[in-house]
Amino acid sequence: MTATVGIVGARGHVGAELIRLIAGHPGFELGYVSSRELDGQRVSDHIEAYRGDLRYSAPSHEALPALAADAVVLALPNGKAGLCVEAFDAAVAGGDATDPVIIDLSADYRFDPDWYYGLPELTRGRYAGQRRISNPGCYATAMQLALAPMLDLLAGPAQCFGVSGYSGAGTTPSDKNDPLKLRDNLMPYALTDHVHEREVSAQLGHDVQFLPHVAPHFRGLTITANMPLARPLEPDEAAARYRLRYADEPLVRIVEQAPWVSRIAGRHHVEIGGFTLSPDRRRLVAVATEDNLLKGAATQALQNLNLAFGYDEWAGIPVTEQAMEQDA
């Protein structure tokens, strides 16, 4: 049985990636894609991978429930999801609509205990059929996957230095997505109390300090995690912990050398490696990279959709192909 998916905010970089992924999924089809800027234009004119006749539309948030998609992905800026969610809740309460699965890609519901926090590699055991799913932040995904295997040994706050491509700043013009201002530059921002810092600290139950920067490349992020340890670590113990923790996770790959952000663009997995100990073996440094638009957003949303509808978690995600390409 095919399930229909609506995307709200489909003009952005992540919305485009979602359209490509859903177009290739065996069990989902696009029900609608909303964009005020592209209203009336054919989706296929903008997304080559999509072959259908669907056009972008611009429904009001009150009109969304009547479109009757089985799942709705909200790919909106922070602070914009609430009106849409309220419209669905009101329609369901009034008996005017069925209750769709809603996946919010913004930070609006990541701290709401009534929403399932969907980082499957760490939280799939908490999924029990919830219809409201909060997709983790891109940086937050990489940081949590990099820190989780060492969580029981952390002796103090973990520090994460992050660098992302400018696609992470969205499509609304700003200094952080202006290629001219970023040329030959590295732009720090939100150096304390970043939403992903609060998100990771809350999810892991451990203080994490995050230092984000934007670089001139378009996509892909890297974080370098500095972890103070409660006891000395044996040289091979760190890598062994990571390999054991993620042995059955096709979208987390443990590598020997520190991964390069240039090699993760367009791929659906996270790479973690470069494990380095201080001389006293009480400080571990690890590096994680991911494509911020894919595993950091759209690919993870598809994992969550698959879980919600009972498909194989990696259906529609080219896991085997990407692994073969990287290993070649």
Q: Is 138 a catalytic residue?
A: yes
Rounded distance between C-alpha atoms, residue 124 and residue 115, angstroms:
13
> Among the options 87, 119, 138, 145, which is catalytic?
138
Secondary structure (3-state) at 26: coil
For 168, list phi and psi in degrees, rounded to 5: -65, -15
For 50, the token pair is: 């999509």
Nearest of 163, 155, 156 to residue 211 by alpha carbon: 163
Q: Residue-wise over 107-129: b if at least 16 C-beta within 10 A, else e?
A: bbbbeeeebbbbbbbbeeeeeee
HSE of 125 in the Cβ direction (CA atoms, 13 Å)? 2
Give the angle subtended at the CA of 61 by the CAs of 60 and 62, to the nearest 5°.
90
Cα(272)–Cα(109) distance, integer angstroms: 27
Burial class (CB in 10 A: 0-12, 13-18, 19+), 236: exposed
User: Which residue type occupies 221?
Assistant: L
Gap between the Cα atoms of 10 and 69, Å rounded: 15
Distance CA 303, CA 314 (A): 6
Describe the chain by its helix, strand, coil percentages, rounded to 5: 35, 25, 40
10-19 core/surface letters (b: 16 or more CB in 10 A; e: else): bbbbbbbbbb
Q: Which residues are catalytic?
A: 138
